[in-house]
């Protein structure tokens, strides 16, 4: 539970706002029933049920987008109803709703919800004692919404940047190990559901340490960047590339196996031999390949590809080795 709250920002916000709403509204709901104001009490109960339902739905399904929209609409329009029933004291309930909508929905959607709630409150008009109070409410509500919009927009932009930094390798621009773990889990689930073949390729630059030692890490970084450019130019847009660590990269390919997969890898091997260079001459890579088996875990799949890469290194490097298959020397041996 605590882990989900720490790792899922929107779920933590929905939970916090839900708990705050329950603690803040419940006493007033009880008070209104005690005072005999059944309409206002029922509206408060409906808001409580809606907020509780939104929080429960978010926890059970993980769908924080729909639950956020639902809670924003329930709380905002519920505040309009409360203001209509109890008069100007109910106006104060709309202000926190104008702010929290920006935490539960995207900024543009929050603006639409806020403007519609403010407009409804004005059109009904029951909450205001006069024109001066009404226009004071409109101006302050718009200022609150504008400030919340600016804050939410900046916050959303910063979160996107942080998420990008957390999932992308800063040197090569490809996805990192953290992102790879999530994508491999998704690929395994997709393969079980659809039956589409998925291949995992771990490739490692041969003698990369020698390049760093002889020419420096700046040259080594340039070789890595050139490698990524060649791989991206010679693979499909649907194929996914990850930096596994150091000079090791993982290529995830869907919908290819057998001769088609061998042709793809043979083309990559020949391309690297021809175009990947360092000051010391041509640079090659070794490949370990594993096709996902039915019911296989991601850990086992990755381990088989890693074992195949080890065999490729042990066989003299610049080789392509398929897991659990003898290496086809005639096809993949350097020319």
Kindly tell me if the per-residue pLDDT of 102 is higher than 70.
yes
The pLDDT of residue 331 is 38
The β-bridge partners of 241 are: 251
Enter the tokens of residue 85: 């029933």
What are the residue boundaries of the structural domains of the chain, listed by start?
2-167, 177-332
The pLDDT of residue 1 is 67
* Active-site residue (options: 192, 222, 232, 247): 247
Q: Provide CB contacts within 8 A for 156, sequence distance 6+.
A: 106, 107
Kindly tell me if the per-residue pLDDT of 332 is higher than 60.
no
Known catalytic residue at 296 = no
Burial class (CB in 10 A: 0-12, 13-18, 19+), 122: middle
Question: Is 14 in contact with 54 (CB distance < 8 Å)?
Answer: yes
221-240 pLDDT tens trace: 999 999 999 999 999 989 99
| CATH of the domain spanning 177-332 | 3.30.70.270
CA atoms 217, 235, 169, 318: torsion sign:
negative
264-320 pLDDT tens trace: 999 999 999 999 999 999 999 999 999 999 899 999 999 999 999 999 999 999 999
**Band of residue 328 on the pLDDT scale cut at 50, 70, 90:** very low
Question: Is 95 in contact with 54 (CB distance < 8 Å)?
Answer: no
Q: Mean of the per-residue pLDDT values for the chain? A: 88
CA atoms 142, 143, 144, 145: torsion sign:
positive
**pTM for this structure?**
0.58
Beta strands (DSSP E) in 227-269 are 240-245, 248-254
Enter the tokens of residue 174: 């490809």
The pLDDT of residue 157 is 82
């Amino acid at each position: 539970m605590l882990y989900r709250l720490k790792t899922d920002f929107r779920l933590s916000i929905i939970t916090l706002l839900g708990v705050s709403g329950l603690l803040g509204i419940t006493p007033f709901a009880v008070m209104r029933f005690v005072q005999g104001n059944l309409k206002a009490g029922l509206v408060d109960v409906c808001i409580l049920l809606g907020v509780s339902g939104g929080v429960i739905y978010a926890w059970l399904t993980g769908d924080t987008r729909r639950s956020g929209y639902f809670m924003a609409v329930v709380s905002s329009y519920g505040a309009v109803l409360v203001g209509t029933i109890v008069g100007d004291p109910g106006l104060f309930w709309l202000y926190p709703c104008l702010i929290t909508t920006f935490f539960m929905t995207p900024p543009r959607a929050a603006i639409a919800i806020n403007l519609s709630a403010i407009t409804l409150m004005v059109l009904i008009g029951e909450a205001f004692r006069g024109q001066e109070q009404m226009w004071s409410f409109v101006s302050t509500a718009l200022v609150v919404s504008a400030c919340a919009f600016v804050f939410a927009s900046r916050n959303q932009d910063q979160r996107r940047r942080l998420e990008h930094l957390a999932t992308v390798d800063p040197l090569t621009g490809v996805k990192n190990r953290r992102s790879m773990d999530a994508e491999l889990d998704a690929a395994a689930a997709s393969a079980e559901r659809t039956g589409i073949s998925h291949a995992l390729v771990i490739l490692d630059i041969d003698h990369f340490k020698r390049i760093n030692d002889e020419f420096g890490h700046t040259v080594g970084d340039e070789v890595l960047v050139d490698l990524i450019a060649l791989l991206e130019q010679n693979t499909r847009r649907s194929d996914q590339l990850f930096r596994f660590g150091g000079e090791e990269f993982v290529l995830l390919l869907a919908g290819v196996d057998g001769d088609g997969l061998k042709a793809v890898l043979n083309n990559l091997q020949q391309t690297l031999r021809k175009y990947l260079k360092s000051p010391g001459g041509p640079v090659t890579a070794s490949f370990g390949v594993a096709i996902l088996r039915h019911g296989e875990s991601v850990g086992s799949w990755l381990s088989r590809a890693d074992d195949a890469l080890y065999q490729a290194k042990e066989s003299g490097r610049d080789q392509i080795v398929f897991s659990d298959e003898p290496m086809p020397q005639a096809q993949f041996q350097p020319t």
